Amino acid sequence: MKTDSLYQKLINGNKKYAMEKRFDDPEYFKTLSLGQKPDYLWIGCSDSRVPANEVTGTQSGEIFVHRNIANVVIHTDFNVMSVLDYAVNVLKVKHIIVCGHYGCGGVRAALTNNMYGFVDSWLRHIKDVYHLHQSELNAIMDEDKRADRLTELNVIEQVRNLAQTKIVQNAWHNKQALQLHAWVYGLNNGLITELKHILDNTADIDSIYRYEF
């Protein structure tokens, strides 16, 4: 497809989308424009094949979304922490889902010694997860299987990172209903695997990371 028609495809797609939604429900956009009250925060990979709403069968307004390369939660990242703060303290979401996916390019890149440019600093966080679980990962001979396991461990570590934040612990302290979930999405079958749930700050969080309120 030519560059112009590639672009036009989106504008046309949008017109069709807006028309169909209005056809199904004339009040659809009016209702949405009144405000959002999503119950979920999704932290996923930027990969174009893992769109939060589509893979969970949800609609606009249902999921608050943050995506970055390889779904990483870093406590010094203003972006993810702002999203988390708003989701927990203003929207009061009930569930935070970190969703990785098998076949993640970011995870695979982190497993190599190649230089990819600016993204290397970002992928360093995945290398740190590898380093934490080195013995388990090195025992896996098959490269794809090793990358898949790192994908799982990465999601679990990112959920742990969430549980270590003051934002999440403060919510638990205030008896706010908030559950953290580690998911991996399968590109080859479209299915989500649930790996781990963290329900409060007594679960699997090293005491050094627990704040006193």
Give the torsion sign (CA, 84, 85, 88, 92): negative
Residue from 71, 185, 186 nearest 129 by CA:
71
Give me the residue label for tokens 């996923």.
44
For residues 61 and 103, which CB has a smaller minimum distance to Co ion in the complex? Answer: 103
Cα–Cα distance, 64 to 50 (Å, whole number): 15
Candidate list 66, 101, 125, 181, residue with the active-site label: 101
Instruction: Examine the residue annotation and report whether 45 is marked as an active-site residue of this protein.
Output: yes
Q: Which of residues 104-143 bind Co ion (CB under 5 A)?
A: 104, 106
Cα–Cα distance, 25 to 41 (Å, whole number): 26
Candidate list 22, 25, 49, 204, residue with the active-site label: 49
Instruction: Examine the residue annotation and report whether 108 is marked as an active-site residue of this protein.
Output: no
Residue from 70, 5, 63, 9 nearest 38 by CA:
63
Please pick, from the candidates 42, 47, 64, 168, the single residue that binds Co ion as defined by CB under 5 A.
Answer: 47
Q: Find the angle CA(28)-CA(14)-CA(5) to the nearest 5 degrees.
A: 175
Instruction: Examine the residue annotation and report whether 49 is marked as an active-site residue of this protein.
Output: yes
148 part of the interface to Co ion, by CB under 5 A: no
Rounded to a whole number of angstroms, the minimum distance from the CB of residue 208 to Co ion is: 30
Rounded to a whole number of angstroms, the minimum distance from the CB of residue 104 to Co ion is: 3
Rounded to a whole number of angstroms, the minimum distance from the CB of residue 28 to Co ion is: 31
Instruction: Examine the residue annotation and report whether 104 is marked as an active-site residue of this protein.
Output: yes
Cα–Cα distance, 23 to 6 (Å, whole number): 26
Please pick, from the candidates 41, 45, 98, 162, the single residue that binds Co ion as defined by CB under 5 A.
Answer: 45
Catalytic residues: 45, 47, 49, 101, 104
User: Which residues contact Co ion by CB under 5 A?
Assistant: 45, 47, 104, 106
